[in-house]
Amino acid sequence: MVSALTPLGYHVLSACSGEEAYKLYIADSEIKAVVTEVTYNCGLKDQYSGVDLALDVMKSSKYRPTPIIFMAGDIGDYSHAELESLTTYMLDKPFRIQDLTFLLDQALHKPAIQTSQD
């Protein structure tokens, strides 16, 4: 995702886990949106997931209105109702980068970036 979004003008930070992503979020007050998987580690609910990340971002003492976009190939044990209560942005896999930039632009309230790729 970094290599696809950076040339389009996005500043992208990458994390290997939800915990690492949350640490980046807390450390960088310039983060304007969070894009995360719904599940990590085979979708087990007892392991830190994108849902846990979303909840922690929302509860953070440094909370600022931050749109969260879930990328969902597998939602694990989570229900659609649980996910919809956390975000208005869901992106089913597989998706095109244009689909992601459209949601990012909506979330950040800016005009959509036009790309020539399909």
Q: Are 65 and 29 in contact (CB under 8 A)?
A: no
Phi/psi of residue 71, each to 5°? -100, 125
pLDDT digits (tens, 9 = 90+) for 91-104: 888 999 999 999 99
Q: How confident is the model at residue 117 (pLDDT cuts 50, 70, 90)?
A: very low
Class of domain 2-107: alpha beta
Domain boundaries, the chain: 2-107
Q: Are 71 and 95 in contact (CB under 8 A)?
A: yes
Task: Provide the 8-state DSSP code for 30.
Answer: T
pLDDT digits (tens, 9 = 90+) for 9-58: 999 999 988 889 999 999 998 999 999 988 765 545 557 888 889 889 98
Cβ neighbours for 80, distance < 8 A, ≥ 6 positions apart: none
pLDDT at 115: 46
